[in-house]
């Protein structure tokens, strides 16, 4: 479980992005992390990874303080940031350099995910377009087989077919021992794959609930707007 407890964080001393914030993520589901611009969604992901340290409060991953970035924690976590670059080497070389840090890395899962995107291991990362790089990196992320996988706007830059393929490879890689947390504004890209939704503001969680499918697919955009509207009316 990832436990975010009474966390306050700001990038300068004059303004906090998060204020006395609390939230938990349990294993065994795909979470959608939603909020307006500037509500701290990406910041939360980096706090969970221990890449940022809270001013107050703490973030613990299976009881371990995230900011300590202990090897036991890091080998079971992986983040796909919104923006990144890949080295100009072959995919096989890249995987070889990464595998020692992730003892559960699955070559079989990597090849299966790549096949889901109509790709193979015979790739040179330096020759790929940005959309192709994103697909390869997400395949590598899933293949690390970590218990916690964090993704920030994973469908940005993907075409319509690739978004469908993305949903398929993520769902097929899931198990009860894993939690995938997806921060996004592209709600229609992910709404059919989510088990749980969290809608946040800088100082509180507006909605933290499982998504129970009925006869029709859940309209996540409608749920998001209704949640914010209700909050405004209550305020």
Sequence-ordered alpha helix ranges (H) in 107-190 = 107-116, 130-143, 160-173, 187-190
Query: Can you give the residue ranges of every domain in the chain?
Result: 2-234
Q: How far apart are CA 43 and CA 17, in angstroms?
A: 8
Confidence of residue 191 (pLDDT cuts 50, 70, 90): confident
pTM higher than 0.85, yes or no? yes
What's the rounded Cα separation, in Å, for the pair 167 and 113?
Answer: 11
Q: Which of 154-168, 170-184, 220-234 has the lowest mean pLDDT?
A: 220-234
Q: Is 57 left (phi over 0), alpha (psi -120 to 50) or beta?
A: left
Q: Which CATH superfamily is domain 2-234 in?
A: P-loop containing nucleotide triphosphate hydrolases (3.40.50.300)
Does residue 233 register a pLDDT over 60?
no
CA–CA separation, 82 and 159 (whole Å): 16
d(CA 115, CA 83): 24
* Residue 92 φ/ψ, nearest 5 degrees: -65, -40
d(CA 118, CA 211): 30
**Using 50, 70 and 90 to split pLDDT, how confident is the model at 95?**
very high
Using CA atoms, how far apart are residues 203 and 22, in angstroms rounded to an integer?
Answer: 8
pLDDT tens string 57-86: 999 999 999 999 999 999 999 999 988 888
| Alpha-carbon distance values, 22 to 157, 186, 205 (Å) | 31, 24, 7
């Amino acid at each position: 479980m990832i436990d975010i407890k009474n966390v306050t964080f700001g990038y300068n001393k004059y303004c906090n992005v998060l204020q006395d914030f609390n939230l938990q993520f349990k294993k065994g589901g795909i979470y959608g992390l939603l909020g307006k611009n500037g509500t701290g969604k990406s910041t939360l992901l980096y706090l969970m990874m221990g890449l940022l340290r809270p001013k107050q409060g703490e973030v613990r991953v299976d009881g371990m303080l995230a900011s300590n970035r202990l090897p036991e924690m890091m080998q079971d976590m992986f983040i796909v940031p919104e923006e990144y670059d890949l080295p100009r080497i072959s995919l096989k070389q890249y995987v070889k350099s990464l595998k020692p840090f992730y003892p559960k890395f699955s070559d079989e899962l990597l090849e299966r995910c790549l096949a889901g995107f109509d790709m193979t291991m015979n790739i040179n990362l330096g020759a790929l377009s940005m959309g192709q790089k994103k697909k390869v990196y997400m395949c590598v992320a899933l293949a690390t087989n970590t218990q916690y996988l964090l993704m920030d706007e994973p469908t940005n830059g993907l075409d319509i077919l690739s978004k469908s393929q993305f949903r398929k490879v993520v769902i097929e890689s899931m198990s009860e021992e894993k939690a995938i947390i997806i921060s996004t504004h592209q709600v229609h890209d992910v709404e059919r794959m989510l088990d749980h939704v969290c809608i946040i503001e800088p100082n509180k969680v507006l909605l933290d609930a499982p998504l129970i499918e009925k006869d029709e697919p859940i309209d996540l955009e409608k749920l998001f707007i209704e949640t914010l509207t209700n909050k405004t009316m209550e305020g």
